[in-house]
Structure 1
Amino acid sequence: MTVTYVIPGAEVTGLDAFWTVMGAAVNGPGGSFGRNLDAFADCLGGGHGTPDDGDFVIEWRDHARSRDALGHEETARWLRSRLGRVHETNRAAVRGELAEAEAGRGRTLFDRLVEIVEEKAPGALRLV
């Protein structure tokens, strides 16, 4: 039996809100389902609230609002917060991504989240 997790896109007002909304969708109010991109990818692999057989769907409703909230502005904010924590060998790449985001170009957080779901749980994402 397929389990459906609903992300109410209007509640995704930024990356922190996405973590809260996703955690509640999978594990109930106050639940967690990762608090960074790597942890999110790990959670999608199973054992963190999703069925062991991987038979689930993530239905991202009103995803266009989330796409806006997780767009270039939020991506730039996130990249700025990462800049001081990344290994020095990765700083130039993060600076480049930040410059792109500040110019309104490049992959957004929304794009990254969608890519992670598609990679870790192929076919599980429904954007509605």
Structure 2
Amino acid sequence: MTITYVIEGREITDLDSFWRVIGEAVNGPGGSFGRNLDAFADCLGGGCGTPDDGDFTLEWRDHDLSRRALGHAETARQLRLRLGRAHASHHERLRAELARAEAGEGPTVFDQLVDIITEQAPGTLRLS
């Protein structure tokens, strides 16, 4: 039997709120499901609330609202945060990604999340 977890896109205003929404969708009120892209990918693999057999669906309602909230402005904000704590060897790449995001170009946080879900998760993504 497939389990469906509902992500309420209208509740997502930035990446931090996405972590809260996905955590509660999968693990109930106050639940956690990763707080960065790598942890999120790991959690999707099972053992963090999703079934180990991968028989689940993530239904992302009002995903267009999330797409805007997690667009280039939020991507630039996240890149600035990463740049502030990254090793110096990553600064050049992060600055280039930041310049693209500030210009409204390149993949967004929303795009990265969807890619992780569709490429690495054993479950299914349904955008509605």
TM-score, with normalisation over the residues of structure 1?
0.97
Q: Structure 1: where are the runs of 5+ without partners?
A: none
Match in the other structure for 2:43: 43
**Is structure 2 residue 17 aligned with structure 1 residue 21?**
no
Q: Give 1:87 shift.
A: 2.0
Equivalent residue, structure 2, for 1:110 = 110
CA distance in 2, matches of 1:26, 1:94: 31
Identity %: 70
Q: Deviation of residue 73 (structure 1)?
A: 0.3
Matched residue, 1:124: 124
After TM superposition, the structure 1 stretch with the greater mean CA deviation from structure 2, 49-58 or 117-126, is: 117-126
List aligned pairs for 1:59-78, cutoff 5 A. Answer: 59-78=59-78
Gaps of 5+ in 2: none
Q: What secondary structure, in the 3-state scheme, does the structure 1 residue paired with 2:116 have?
A: helix
Q: CA deviation at 1:32?
A: 0.2
**Structure 2: which amino acid aligns with 1:12?**
I
Matches of 1:52 and 1:103, distance apart in 2: 40
The DSSP-based 3-state class of the residue aligned with 1:84 is helix
Partners in 1 of 2:4 and 2:113 — Cα distance? 18
Q: CA RMSD in A?
A: 0.9
- Alignment of structure 1 residues 92-103 onto 2, 5 Å: 92-103=92-103
Partners of 1:108 and 1:71 lie apart in 2 by 5
> Between Structure 1 and Structure 2, how many residues are aligned?
128
TM-score w.r.t. the length of structure 2 is: 0.97
For the Cα contact (< 8 Å) 2:26–2:50, is it kept in 1?
yes
Deviation digits for residues 5-27 of structure 1 (CA, Å, limit 9, x no counterpart): 00010001110000000000000
